[in-house]
Structures are given as structure tokens and as C-alpha cells.
């Protein structure tokens, strides 16, 4: 066998690749430091807000905003807890009620009450540490066309879901792996009490509900109205989902069952140890302003916490706010969550 | 290079201190990298879970390990990984034979296609598999929806291409003369393949199996979407305990179990490989492959292997085709709209459009590949040395196991580890974008090592001796003997690193900045948003990811120097 020296073309190819690599590397790594006053906003990874609105904050206050989004609801709070000694930023937005008390107990928030707080937010306050910014309602959704085609009346209540005519029609999510799933577990606990909920789930199980692990999986694979070949016309989703199923005739092909909803609140708070606590407070004030609140439905699919703020037209028609959703406070959820999930898992999966 | 010095050279009693020093210096680069960006963050987070009030909490370890759930999760992991690896290897050897030892039109394209699954985000694959297997799906009649069978299929789908590629690359450059000799002596092609070629391939098959086992054992998203919690693996459980319950104690104990699995697998594989693997008879460059003949004059070997390769192809093509078809459909009609929408931010789901995210992904992948190749090739060079000193040999064995560890550690552990350990000067890197390519390079490095090492180990020491006899310096030997033989596998390794980086989701999701998301991140966000058309956009974006990855890997193949003759 003969061997030969490394050929020149190979050397130059590798040199070229390395050079491109280094150049591209610089462009990725090079970060720009904002000049002047700034804050770092820590959010969950589904934060979205139009550039105009974000720019308006900077124009009004002279404070520029850097965003970090280290994960979804649970991961967000956990990261704040882990980094208490060396905080990730100044202000946090997107703490959900199911994880709020963990952050409160671990002392990661600094007290602040905004002068802009609307009356409709007051029932959801967590001491003076967290400010409610938006609400969303997790409800069962039904495929109206599917029921119309078969001449069956869609279900309306939690009880209906256990009736034989709706057998094998429901798909929902595991509360251990999905925040939406956890919300529905909370719904059943609020509705049937600490004693009664396992029995209700037993009946759901007997009626052939399917439990999957994530919302997208349930909605896009199993739900008849969204996927191709889905075969379950009842799915756990949001009260705000129907506007996204508006067909050419101007009507939504799905509807939320407003008697099956549970309310989730998302909070903002000043992070303890923030380098710019005043800036953080100003940002919380800004999130309660009408300008920011009015954008919440279209940008993040949630209701403004300020009920005086008008909803978009499609929402008024097809995603009205549930009038009397089930609700448990962050403390109640936090104290029960682990045990409920364990109990639920042994009931439904093991 | 510490192989016996030819008699013509002045005798040296021991390896010279200078050479040892040079090697240690070379070794320092990758080791410092792995210690700072892997061992330190991971130990910090595991330590946070295990130390209670300053002392190690042994009770916790026992308590977590004795829970029935923990045992079941460990069992799930081992079963899924063992069967997944077994099936992947069994399918891939005949497939590698067809794709790398026989020639036919389009084989390069098929080779690239086989690796595409490897880069697809698990969520997307999970949804594609469920669409295929769900009761009303095309394969619904099998009744495999949400079963162990579905998970195994998905694991094979992800990994079979990797084994084919790793084994095929070596097979392709294997000197065929031994096999030819066997056939001349009257052995049938099948017999010659089984008795001559297969044993020669054992080291690389073992190497690939180890990697695939670890990939299967740490599969996360795909297990969760396809199987649900009843099939939870250690990885899924670590994710749950860390992100949902902040139970660092349980997560830490499970992480240690995962380390244990890595070490065990590595130890078993080194036992199987035996103390001394015979040098591979490597041809310098690609050996011309004969045409694939299935009709008259074709051998039974060709037919059997082609049959199995077709099975492999079907397994890979079906979900990919499902995805492709879905990307052209919306509201029950055919459309190109999903692709047009990639230039938008979706139904308010994204902070940038999908194309921008694709560019971010490519840039990050270039960085990650550079890091992984530099670190991985250096490690492979060091690990290919065979020191005579037994202590040094043992140290080498440990280093070999350590290098594999990143494959066995959960992305959540790495992500949280970065967060709490790299948070103050001189290493305050938490918000730095460089952490993303570093995290991705951590996953890719073991793969680079595993791709390059079998080739280096397979180089006949006599080549080195001959070169030395002719007066070549060690550096020159490295450049002129090892270099060209190694380049082919470096090309492969670079392609794989690039692919891993493009598809990596877990660690990236912790570190990414909202204004600079990667392609898998935007796909995941689109899937998680109930906006009109977001799902269809996610599928179209996945197709783009698949195409980019396929193209890059085809290019990586082209980059390999063609040192000898035409391929056919």
C-alpha cells in the first residue's frame, strides 16, 4: 500500500472552511451592549410583543430592554430559584400561577405594587410581590362541524364528558408534562373537591378519554378539526383557540365549552437583587398600560388582566371571556400539585 | 507512535520526555474544554442536588433508587436502548453493504437521505410518527399507536442512518484483497463477507453501537410524544424532576445512574473489542465498488442485503414522506402557502421569520462544528496512541470513557449546570451566545471521536515504522500517513457535527436568546401555538431543516479528498 503527502487542495479547502467558520463565529458571538439605561427582561419562551409597543416603552422612559427567555413556565421559575445569588435579569414576566408560589417561597421577587393596577387584577394578587398581567382560560374545545354532521348535540359540562354518547371522543393532556393538562386537573379539583376528583377521572377513563403528553400532539394529531385524520372531536385547549378556526364563511368551526374552563394567571415581578429595580418597576407599569394590554390577545393569545380593555372583534365573537371559570389560588395549587400529580398518575397511567 | 522502533534507528529506552510533553500539551486543549464546559457545570448541578447542609446525602441516593418508579424508568431505558440499538445495527450492516460496497445510480443521494432523520427535532418526528400510526393514519391498522413498538421504530428511524454511515465509511476504504483472496480459495461471497469482512468491521460496529445505545438511552422528546409517560426513560424523568418539580435531588441521583450506564456500556464495548484489535487493512482512498446486481449473475448476498436495505429505506421514507405531504396541505387542500408563510412570523408565534432562524442555525452550526472537530480530532489522536506504560494506558481508558460522557448526560442537566456555574467572572457566559455552539459541540465531540478513532486505530503500525525508517519525523508521519487516511472520517465527523448542531434542541432551548432563535426552536414554538397555519408552517420548516441538513451532509461527503482513482 502506498501513502502520499497531504494534497494541497485538501489543505486549502480546510483552510477555507476554517476561515469561514471563524468569520461566521464572530458574527454570532459579537453582542452589542446597549448604551444608556437598560433592563433585562426574563420571560417564558412564548413571549411575543410587537416591536412598536416595545419601542414605545424605550421612547417613553429612555430605557432599552434586553430579553432572555430561558424556558417554559416551570423552567422559568426554577431558573430564577437556582440563580437567586446572581440574578438573570431585572424583571420577570410569565410566571404562571401554578409555579408562582415556589418563587415566592424561595424569595426571588422584590415587593412592588404598580399604581396602574386595575381593579380586575386585584383578586389575583400574590401579596405585594407579583403583579397579574394577563389571564387565559383552559377549556374543552369541540369540533362543531363533526357534531353537526352526525346530528349530535355537543357536550357542555364536565359531567357531559362522562356520558356514553361522548364515549371515546375526548383527548386531553398529562398534567405532569403539560401545563394545559395541569390546568384541567385543577378544574376537576375545583369542581369536584379534594375527595371527588379521583372518581370523576375514573369515570372519564371508563368513558374512553385519551391522554397524551403535549398540547400540540393532541390538537394536531388527535383532534378532528385541526389534524388530518384526527378522530377525537373534543380536545383540551384554550377558550381563545376558536378564532383560529374561522373558515371562509366567517364562522369558527370549533367552540370552547365555557363551563369547563379554569383560569390561569400570568404574573410579572421585580427580581430581587436586580441591577435596575426602578427600570423594572417602570416596565411593570408599562405592561399594565392600555397600549400593552390591548396587544395581549393577538400577540400572546391571552386576555388582558384589565377587563376594561377591549378585545379584538374575532375574540368578542368566538372567544368571549368565560364568565365564571374555575380558579384555585397559587398557594392552593402549589401545596397540592405534587400529590395530585402522583395520585393522578397512579389513577390514569400506572 | 510509541510502537517498536525499527532496529535501524538508534535505540531509545523509553518514549522521550519531549514527546510526552508535546502530547500532554496537545491533550490539554480538549481536556480543559471538557472540564470547564462539561464536567464543572454538570458536577455543580448534580452537587446542588446531592449535598444537604454541606455533606453528601447518601440516604437520598438510596431512597430515590428504591422507588418502584425509578426502577421502572431504568428498566424502560435499558430495554428501549438495547432493542433500539440491536435493530438499528442489524438493519444497518446490510444497508451499509449496499450503499457503500455496491455501486448503482443515486447511492450518494440515498446515503445523505438516510442521515436526515438524525437532525429532525424529536417533537416533529413524534408528531409525524403519531400521524402515521394513529388509528386513522396510513399504518393505523398495525395498532402500534402509543406503544413500545412505536418508540422502537422511532429510535431506529433516528439512528439507523448513523450506523450505516459510520460502518459504511470504514467499509468503503477497507482493502478488499483479503475478501477476494477468500473467494479465490472457494468461499462464497456471503461466506467471505461473514468470515473475513465482518470481523474486520467489528471495531467500528462496536463504536457505532455504543453511540447509538447512548442516543437511544437519552432519547427524550420522541419518547414523550410517541409513547407518553408510561414509557418514561431516565432522561424523561430527569427533565420532569428538574423543570417541573425542581427536585434536584432526584434529578441528581438519576444523572448519576445515567453516568453509570455510560461507563458500563463503554466498559462492555471495550471488553468486546478485545485488548488488541487487529489493524484494519485500509486502502488509501475509496475502493472501487462493483455494480449491484440483482438479476442473473447476482449473488445471494446482494439480494438479501438489498431486501434489508429496502426495509430500512421504507422505515425512513414513510415518516419523511408523511411530513413532506403534510407540508403541502392546508385545510384539506394542496397548497404552497405553508412555504410562503416561512417568510412571516406566523400567527404571532415567532420573534423572527423562519428564514432568519435558519440563518442563525447555520451560523451556530459552523461554530459548533469547528469546536467539535478541533476538540474531537485532538482527542482521537491522543486516544489512538498506545503507551507502553500501563498507568498511562489505564489513564487513556478513563479518558476514553470521559469523552463519551456528554452523550449520556441530559441536556437539562447541562443547561441548568451552565446557568449556575458559568455565572461570574471570569466565566460569566450565561447570556453569551457562544454557549449555544459550545453546548452543541459537547454532544457532537464524542461522535467525532468515535468516527475518527476506529480509522486511526486501524492504521497498520508498519506504515509508521516504514515511514520512520525512511527518516520521517513524528510530525511528518502524522501529516503524511495518518492525515490522509483520517481526512475521510473527519469529513464525516464534520458533517455529523453540523447535523447535530442543526437539530439540537434540549440544551439550545435553555441558552437561546429570543431574538436569535434556531430552526428547531422556531419549529417547536410553532407547534406549541394555536394560531391559524402555525402547525403547517412547523411542518414546512421541518422540511427545510431536512433539506438543509441533507445538503450539508452531501457537501461534507464531497469535501473528502479523493486520493485514489474513480469510485467505480
Q: Does A81 touch chain B (CB under 8 A)?
A: yes
Res A139: pLDDT:
96
Cell matching residue B171: 467499509
**Is it the case that residue A157 has pLDDT exceeding 80?**
yes
Bridge partners of A237? A139
Highest mean pLDDT among A268-277, B8-17, B261-270 belongs to A268-277
Q: Does A249 touch chain B (CB under 8 A)?
A: no
DSSP B210: H
Confidence of residue B192 (pLDDT cuts 50, 70, 90): confident
Distance CA A130, CA A114 (A): 10
Distance CA A264, CA B41 (A): 34
**Is it the case that residue B177 has pLDDT exceeding 70?**
yes
Lowest model confidence (mean pLDDT) among A14-23, A321-330, B211-220, B333-342: A14-23
DSSP B533: T
CA within 13 Å, CB half, B169 = 31
Higher pLDDT, B297 or B518: B518
Res B2: pLDDT:
42
Confidence of residue B563 (pLDDT cuts 50, 70, 90): very low
Determine what percent of chain A is predicted with pLDDT higher than 70: 89
Cell numbers 464572530: residue: A26
Q: For A45-94, how does the pLDDT look when each residue is reduced to its tens digit (9 = 90+)?
A: 778 888 889 999 999 999 999 888 776 767 788 889 988 888 889 999 99
Q: Does A8 touch chain B (CB under 8 A)?
A: no
Determine what percent of chain B is predicted with pLDDT higher than 90: 21
The backbone region for A273, taken as left when phi is positive above 0, alpha when psi lies in -120 to 50, beta otherwise, is left
Which chain A residue lies closest to B533 (C-alpha atoms)?
Answer: A244
Res A304: pLDDT:
96
Mean pLDDT in residue range B91-119: 88
Q: Do B563 and A338 touch (CB under 8 A)?
A: no
Res A44: pLDDT:
83
Confidence of residue B135 (pLDDT cuts 50, 70, 90): confident
Interface of A with B in 266-325 (CB under 8 A): 298-301
Q: For B46-62, how does the pLDDT look when each residue is reduced to its tens digit (9 = 90+)?
A: 888 888 777 777 788 88
- Residue B121: name the closest of B556, B533, B438, B525 by CA: B525
**Is it the case that residue B75 has pLDDT exceeding 60?**
yes
Confidence of residue B562 (pLDDT cuts 50, 70, 90): very low
DSSP B286: P
Which chain B residue lies closest to A220 (C-alpha atoms)?
Answer: B535
ipTM for this prediction:
0.77
Mean pLDDT in residue range A148-168: 96
Mean pLDDT in residue range B289-294: 80
Q: For B481-517, how does the pLDDT look when each residue is reduced to its tens digit (9 = 90+)?
A: 777 777 777 887 888 899 889 888 888 877 877 778 8
Res B424: pLDDT:
74
Q: Do A5 and B283 touch (CB under 8 A)?
A: no
- Which helix (H) or strand (E) segment holds residue A210: the answer is strand A210-212
Q: Is B302 exposed, middle or buried (0-12, 13-18, 19+ CB in 10 A)?
A: buried
**Is it the case that residue B263 has pLDDT exceeding 80?**
yes
Distance CA A127, CA A118 (A): 16
Which chain B residue lies closest to A89 (C-alpha atoms)?
Answer: B431
Res B226: pLDDT:
81
Lowest model confidence (mean pLDDT) among A15-19, A243-247, B72-76, B274-278: A15-19
Q: Do B434 and A230 touch (CB under 8 A)?
A: no
CA within 13 Å, CB half, B417 = 26
CA within 13 Å, CB half, B390 = 1
* Of the partner residues B367, B416, B463, the one whose CB lies closest to the CB of residue A25: B367
What is the overall mean pLDDT for chain A? Answer: 86
Helices (H) and strands (E) in chain B, counts: 25, 4
Distance CA B556, CA B279 (A): 26
Bridge partners of A141? A235, A256
Contacts of B267 (CB under 8 A, 6+ apart): B401
**Is it the case that residue A16 has pLDDT exceeding 70?**
no
Residues in chain A: 350
Res A2: pLDDT:
37
Annotate B322-368 with three-state secondary structure: HHHHHHCEECCEECCHHHHHHHCCCCCCCCCCHHHHHHHHHHHHHHH
Please list every residue in chain A whose beta carbon sits closer than 8 Å to the beta carbon of residue B411. Answer: none
Distance CA B429, CA B417 (A): 12
Res B6: pLDDT:
45
Annotate B245-281 with three-state secondary structure: CCCHHHHHHHHHHHHHHHHHHHHHHHHHHCCCCCCCC
Q: Do A217 and B127 touch (CB under 8 A)?
A: yes
Please list every residue in chain A whose beta carbon sits closer than 8 Å to the beta carbon of residue B423. Answer: 83, 86
Determine what percent of chain A is predicted with pLDDT higher than 90: 61
* Of the partner residues B224, B350, B510, the one whose CB lies closest to the CB of residue A177: B224
Res B557: pLDDT:
67
Q: Do B134 and A230 touch (CB under 8 A)?
A: yes
What is the overall mean pLDDT for chain B? Answer: 82
| Integer Rg of chain B from CA | 24
**Is it the case that residue B146 has pLDDT exceeding 90?**
no
C-beta separation of B423 from B511 below 8 A: no
Res B274: pLDDT:
57
Res B32: pLDDT:
92
Distance CA B317, CA B235 (A): 27
pTM of the model: 0.81
Confidence of residue A26 (pLDDT cuts 50, 70, 90): very low
Confidence of residue B286 (pLDDT cuts 50, 70, 90): low
**Is it the case that residue B334 has pLDDT exceeding 80?**
yes
**Is it the case that residue B284 has pLDDT exceeding 70?**
no
Distance CA B120, CA B159 (A): 11
Q: For B389-445, how does the pLDDT look when each residue is reduced to its tens digit (9 = 90+)?
A: 888 888 888 888 888 888 888 888 888 888 888 877 777 777 677 889 999 999 899
Distance CA A58, CA A207 (A): 54
**Is it the case that residue A95 has pLDDT exceeding 80?**
yes
Q: Do B530 and A350 touch (CB under 8 A)?
A: no
Cell matching residue B37: 464546559
Distance CA B132, CA A221 (A): 10
Q: For A213-228, how does the pLDDT look when each residue is reduced to its tens digit (9 = 90+)?
A: 888 888 988 999 876 7
Amino acid at each position: 500500500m502506498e501513502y502520499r503527502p497531504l494534497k494541497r487542495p485538501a489543505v486549502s479547502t480546510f483552510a477555507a472552511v476554517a476561515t469561514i467558520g471563524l468569520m461566521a463565529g464572530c458574527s454570532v458571538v459579537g453582542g452589542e451592549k446597549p448604551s444608556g439605561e437598560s433592563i433585562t427582561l426574563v420571560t417564558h419562551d412564548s413571549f411575543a410583543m410587537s416591536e412598536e409597543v416595545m419601542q414605545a416603552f424605550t421612547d417613553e422612559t429612555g430605557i432599552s430592554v434586553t430579553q432572555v427567555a430561558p424556558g417554559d413556565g416551570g423552567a422559568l421559575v426554577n431558573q430564577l430559584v437556582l440563580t437567586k445569588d446572581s440574578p438573570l435579569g431585572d424583571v420577570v414576566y410569565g410566571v404562571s400561577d401554578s409555579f408562582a408560589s415556589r418563587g415566592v417561597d424561595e424569595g426571588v421577587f422584590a415587593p412592588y405594587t404598580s399604581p396602574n393596577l386595575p381593579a380586575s387584577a386585584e383578586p389575583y394578587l400574590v401579596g405585594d410581590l407579583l403583579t397579574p398581567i394577563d389571564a387565559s382560560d383552559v377549556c374543552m374545545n369541540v369540533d362543531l362541524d363533526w357534531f353537526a354532521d352526525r346530528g349530535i348535540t355537543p357536550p357542555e359540562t364536565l359531567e357531559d364528558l362522562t356520558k356514553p354518547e361522548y364515549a371515546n371522543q375526548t383527548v386531553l393532556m398529562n398534567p405532569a408534562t403539560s401545563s394545559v393538562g395541569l390546568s384541567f386537573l385543577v378544574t376537576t379539583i375545583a369542581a369536584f373537591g379534594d375527595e371527588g376528583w379521583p372518581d370523576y377521572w375514573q369515570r372519564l377513563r371508563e368513558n374512553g378519554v385519551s391522554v397524551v403528553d403535549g398540547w400540540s400532539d393532541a390538537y394536531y394529531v388527535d383532534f378532528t378539526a385541526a389534524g388530518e385524520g384526527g378522530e377525537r372531536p373534543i380536545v383540551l385547549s384554550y377558550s381563545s383557540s376558536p378564532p383560529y378556526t374561522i373558515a371562509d364563511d366567517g364562522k369558527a368551526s370549533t367552540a370552547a365549552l365555557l363551563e369547563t374552563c379554569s383560569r390561569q394567571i400570568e404574573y410579572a415581578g421585580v427580581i430581587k437583587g436586580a441591577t435596575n429595580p426602578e427600570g423594572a418597576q417602570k416596565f411593570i407599569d408599562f405592561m399594565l398600560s392600555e397600549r400593552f394590554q390591548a396587544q395581549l390577545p393577538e400577540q400572546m393569545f391571552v386576555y388582558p388582566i384589565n377587563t376594561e380593555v377591549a378585545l379584538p372583534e374575532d375574540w368578542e365573537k368566538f372567544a368571549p371571556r368565560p364568565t365564571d371559570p374555575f380558579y384555585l389560588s397559587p398557594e392552593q395549587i402549589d401545596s397540592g400539585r405534587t400529590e395530585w400529580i402522583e395520585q393522578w398518575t397512579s389513577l390514569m397511567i400506572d | 507512535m510509541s510502537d517498536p522502533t525499527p532496529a535501524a534507528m538508534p535505540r531509545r529506552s523509553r518514549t522521550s520526555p519531549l514527546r510526552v510533553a508535546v502530547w500532554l500539551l496537545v491533550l490539554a486543549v480538549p481536556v480543559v474544554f471538557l472540564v470547564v464546559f462539561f464536567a464543572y457545570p454538570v458536577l455543580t448541578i448534580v452537587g446542588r442536588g446531592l449535598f444537604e447542609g454541606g455533606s453528601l446525602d447518601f440516604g437520598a441516593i438510596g431512597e430515590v433508587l428504591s422507588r418502584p418508579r425509578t426502577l421502572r424508568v431504568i428498566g424502560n431505558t435499558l430495554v428501549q436502548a438495547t432493542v433500539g440499538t440491536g435493530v438499528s445495527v442489524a438493519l444497518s450492516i446490510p444497508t451499509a453493504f449496499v450503499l457503500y460496497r455496491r455501486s448503482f445510480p443515486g447511492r450518494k443521494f440515498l446515503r445523505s437521505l438516510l442521515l436526515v432523520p438524525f437532525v429532525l427535532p424529536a417533537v416533529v418526528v413524534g408528531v409525524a410518527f403519531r400521524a402515521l400510526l394513529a388509528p386513522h393514519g396510513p399504518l393505523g391498522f398495525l395498532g402500534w399507536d402509543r406503544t413500545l413498538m412505536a418508540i422502537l421504530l422511532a429510535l431506529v428511524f433516528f439512528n439507523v442512518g448513523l450506523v450505516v454511515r459510520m460502518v459504511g465509511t470504514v467499509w468503503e476504504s477497507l482493502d478488499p484483497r483479503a475478501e477476494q483472496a477468500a473467494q479465490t480459495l472457494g468461499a462464497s461471497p456471503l461466506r467471505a463477507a461473514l468470515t473475513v469482512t465482518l470481523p474486520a468491521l467489528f471495531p467500528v460496529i462496536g463504536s457505532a453501537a455504543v453511540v447509538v445505545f447512548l442516543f437511544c438511552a437519552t432519547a427524550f422528546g420522541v419518547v414523550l410524544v410517541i409513547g407518553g409517560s408510561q414509557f418514561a426513560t431516565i432522561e424523561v424523568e430527569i427533565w420532569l424532576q428538574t423543570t417541573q418539580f425542581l427536585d434536584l435531588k432526584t434529578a441528581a441521583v438519576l444523572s448519576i445512574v445515567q453516568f453509570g450506564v455510560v461507563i458500563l456500556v463503554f466498559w462492555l464495548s471495550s471488553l468486546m473489542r478485545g485488548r488488541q484489535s487487529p489493524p484494519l487493512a485500509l486502502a488509501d482512498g475509496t475502493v472501487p465498488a462493483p455494480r449491484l446486481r440483482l438479476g442473473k449473475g447476482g449473488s445471494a448476498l446482494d439480494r438479501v442485503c438489498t431486501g434489508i436495505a429496502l426495509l430500512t429505506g421504507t422505515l425512513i421514507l414513510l415518516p419523511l414522506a408523511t411530513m413532506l405531504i403534510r407540508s403541502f396541505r392546508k385545510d384539506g387542500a394542496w397548497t404552497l402557502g405553508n412555504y410562503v408563510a416561512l417568510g412571516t412570523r406566523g400567527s404571532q408565534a415567532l420573534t423572527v421569520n423562519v428564514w432568519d432562524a435558519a440563518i442563525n442555525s447555520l451560523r451556530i452550526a459552523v461554530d459548533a462544528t469547528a469546536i467539535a472537530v478541533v476538540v474531537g480530532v485532538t482527542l482521537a489522536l491522543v486516544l489512538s496512541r498506545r503507551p507502553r506504560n500501563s498507568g498511562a494506558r489505564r489513564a487513556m481508558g478513563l479518558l476514553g470513557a470521559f469523552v463519551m460522557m456528554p452523550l449520556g448526560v441530559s441536556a437539562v442537566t447541562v443547561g441548568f449546570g451552565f446557568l449556575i456555574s458559568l455565572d461570574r467572572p471570569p466565566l460569566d457566559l450565561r447570556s453569551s451566545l457562544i454557549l449555544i455552539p459550545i453546548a452543541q459541540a459537547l454532544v457532537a465531540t464524542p461522535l467525532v471521536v468515535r468516527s475518527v478513532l476506529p480509522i486511526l486505530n486501524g492504521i497498520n503500525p508498519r506504515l509508521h515504522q516504514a515511514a520512520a525508517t525512511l527518516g520521517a519525523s513524528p510530525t511528518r508521519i502524522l501529516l503524511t500517513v495518518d492525515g490522509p487516511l483520517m481526512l475521510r472520517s473527519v469529513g464525516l465527523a464534520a458533517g455529523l457535527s453540523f447535523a447535530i448542531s442543526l437539530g439540537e434542541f434540549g440544551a439550545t432551548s435553555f441558552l437561546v436568546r429570543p431574538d436569535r432563535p434556531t430552526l428547531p426552536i422556531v419549529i417547536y414554538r410553532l407547534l406549541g401555538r394555536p394560531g391559524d397555519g402555525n402547525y403547517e408552517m412547523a411542518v414546512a420548516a421541518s422540511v427545510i431543516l431536512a433539506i438543509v441538513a441533507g445538503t450539508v451532509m452531501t457537501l461534507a461527503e464531497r469535501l473528502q479528498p479523493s486520493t485514489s482513482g474513480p469510485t467505480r
